[in-house]
Amino acid sequence: MSLLTVDIKEAGYKNKEPAISNVHFALEQASLTGMIGANGAGKSTTIKAILGELPFLEGTIEMEEGTAYSYIPERPVYYDELTLWEHFEFVGAVEQLGEGHLNYARELLKKFRLYERMHEFPGTFSKGMQQKGMIALALFTGPRLLIIDEPFMGLDPSSTRMLLELLDEEKNKGTGILMCTHILDTAQRICDSFIVIERGTVKAAGNLSEVLTQCGAGDGSLYSCITTEDELND
Ligand SMILES: Nc1ncnc2c1ncn2[C@@H]1O[C@H](COP(=O)(O)OP(=O)(O)OP(=O)(O)O)[C@@H](O)[C@H]1O
């Protein structure tokens, strides 16, 4: 059985008004899948469906039994009344994580240059710092499935490199990663497989050459797989 099996017939924000339809794919362990598509194509909605956050879903989302997952949202979300480190302590207490996880959290914070600031409130951080805090929070729990919505937004070059290294480390640990991104050159370089979403459904799926063939992208670039809403309407 796959780590995650997504079989969505229809799903959306209002009953019987689907924002996405016929989205079927599976995610394996130790793999990185890039979900790409134009603004409004349905990527975040697909993630919300997986997380069980949509009011309307016809279909099934199956996770391998006992799969611990983490989600890194597109926009950082923190509790106003907790310092960054208190977030780790809180999640650690709720998830009953041992000291090893908190030590890994400290290591991640050092890597992201947040260690000196960890007793401050994340609301006072820059956007990139908030994003890095979210990444560290998602990783320190030791997820087997990682779902990430646009992780590179706001990260400086060294943090971007750090994140790429961490994604690689996660994959080597066996984590299955589903990542939405518009940074297609990076996606093309690091992802094992791709799901191209267009107008709420899967336009192409598979490894790079399969997806490029399915999209008719003769130039070998994922950019040619993405058609914007304006272009579709022309
Ligand atoms: N909270 C919401 N309520 C109603 N409709 C929504 C909501 N969020 C998104 N939608 C609609 O669902 C469709 C898909 O949007 P979605 O956010 O999934 O796109 P996306 O591919 O993630 O785009 P982007 O690249 O801009 O993040 C759009 O038509 C959008 O207007």
96 lines ligand 1 (CB under 6 A): no
- 17 inside domain: yes
- Mean of the per-residue pLDDT values for the chain? 94
Angle at 18 between CA 202 and CA 52, to 5 degrees: 85
ipTM of the complex: 0.98
Ligand 1 atom nearest to CA at 46 = 18
Ligand 1 atom nearest to CA at 200 = 14
Is the pLDDT score of 85 beyond 90?
A: yes
The share of the chain scoring above pLDDT 90, in percent, equals: 88
Residues 159 and 45 in one domain: yes
pLDDT in tens, 152-189: 988 999 999 999 999 999 999 999 999 999 999 999 99
Residues 183 and 193 in one domain: yes
Can you tell me the distance from the alpha carbon of 81 to that of 78, in angstroms, rounded to the nearest whole number? Answer: 9
187 lines ligand 1 (CB under 6 A): no
Q: Which residue's CA is minimally distant from atom 31 of ligand 1? A: 40
Residue 42 CA, ligand 1 centroid: distance in Å: 6
The confidence score (pLDDT) of residue 38 equals 93
44 lines ligand 1 (CB under 6 A): yes
For the entire predicted model, the pTM comes to: 0.94
Cross-strand bridge partners of residue 193: 33
pLDDT in tens, 193-232: 999 999 999 999 999 999 999 998 888 899 999 987 777 7
Last residue of a domain, one of 98, 124, 142: 142
Per DSSP, the three-state class of 72 is strand
Residue 181 CA, ligand 1 centroid: distance in Å: 14
- 218 inside domain: yes
Q: Which residue's CA is minimally distant from atom 18 of ligand 1? A: 42
The confidence score (pLDDT) of residue 86 equals 98
Residues 128 and 159 in one domain: no
Residues 147 and 191 in one domain: yes
Can you tell me the distance from the alpha carbon of 19 to that of 46, in angstroms, rounded to the nearest whole number? Answer: 9
Residue 168 CA, ligand 1 centroid: distance in Å: 29
Per DSSP, the three-state class of 189 is helix
Residues 64 and 115 in one domain: no
Q: Which residue's CA is minimally distant from atom 9 of ligand 1? A: 45
Residue 55 CA, ligand 1 centroid: distance in Å: 14
Residues 136 and 149 in one domain: no
Which range marks the domain in which residue 100 is found?
Answer: 78-142
CB-count exposure of residue 5 (10 Å: 0-12, 13-18, 19+) = middle
The confidence score (pLDDT) of residue 153 equals 86
Residue 198 CA, ligand 1 centroid: distance in Å: 12
Last residue of a domain, one of 113, 142, 171: 142
75 lines ligand 1 (CB under 6 A): no
The share of the chain scoring above pLDDT 70, in percent, equals: 100
The domain total for the chain is 2
The confidence score (pLDDT) of residue 10 equals 96
User: Residue 120 gets which letter from DSSP?
Assistant: S
Q: Which residue's CA is minimally distant from atom 17 of ligand 1? A: 44
Residues 153 and 38 in one domain: yes
Residues 85 and 197 in one domain: no
